[in-house]
Structure 1
Amino acid sequence: MNGHITDAHITTWFLTLVLFLIALSLNKSGKAKGFKILHMIIRVFYLLIILTGGMLLFSIYQISFLYILKVIVGLWIISLFEMILIKAGKKKETKGMWIQFIIAFLLVLYLGFKLPLGIHIF
């Protein structure tokens, strides 16, 4: 069962990242209506990410500190998705948020691959 939830979680994250990049592309090309619609769809995906992540977390017998850290970093990434989209929509600077995003994304990938429920690369 955990495998299906893990697959759903990874798929939801991947689709959110792809939609996020498409939304930024739409915004950059001046298609504000498409950007706003996609932004709303991405918000639904945030909920799916949190739902599948919560299901994974509560399926673990013993929750270690690294799992808690992964949850915190995952929520940080979702917050950054949202803040970057909002600022980009208002044509404001996002450089600092992108730096945070890269750091948080690398950290969450590392934790995801290291922890027992993830794909084991490390």
Structure 2
Amino acid sequence: MGFLTDTTHFHILTWVVGIVLFLVSASMASGTKGKKIAHMILRLFYILIIVSGAALFFTHMGLNSMLYGIKFVLGLFTIGFMEMTLVRGNKGKNTGLMWILFIVFLLATLFVGFKLPLGFDFLA
């Protein structure tokens, strides 16, 4: 399981694919079969994002426990707002607030993630 904890590459790959799938699913017409398939694949990537993030968290939290914990919680909120945006959109409800919260939490998660010892140092 070293590929999960040696570097952040797998984790970054999963959340980049997850964000792309989220945007693709959000842009599709509501109620179509393609949207349901994209949403189900996105849910699989939610699990991959959480598993790879948890593996990194438990392996490297000794480096800076508070920042890793904050990043973990922010990541969970980001995934939650992604899911709530799609579900509210499928139900025909207003998604404006969910989009704003998703963007805010995504940017906060990225900022904290890049500040971590294993993160890339181009936003800090």
Q: TM-score, normalised by structure 1?
A: 0.90
1:14 corresponds to which of 3, 13, 16: 16
The sequence identity of aligned pairs, in percent, is 45
The answer to whether the 8 Å contact 2:31/2:90 transfers is: no
Aligned partners of 1:117 and 1:35: how far apart in 2?
35
Match runs of 1:36-75 below 5 Å: 36-60=36-60, 62=62, 63-75=64-76
Q: C-alpha root-mean-square deviation of aligned residues, in Å?
A: 1.5
Aligned to 2:28: 26
| Structure 1: gaps of 5 or more residues | none
Q: Which runs of 5+ in 2 are unaligned?
A: none
Cα distance in 2 between the residues matched to 1:32 and 1:92: 17
Alignment length (residue pairs): 119
How far did 1:61 drift?
A: 5.4
CA contact (8 A) 2:85 2:98 kept: yes
C-alpha offsets along residues 90-121 of structure 1, whole Å, 9 cap, x if unaligned? 12101111111111111111101111011112
CA deviations on 1:39-87 (whole Å, 9 max, x unpaired) are: 1111100000011001101111515111111000100011011100101
1:107 corresponding residue in structure 2: 108
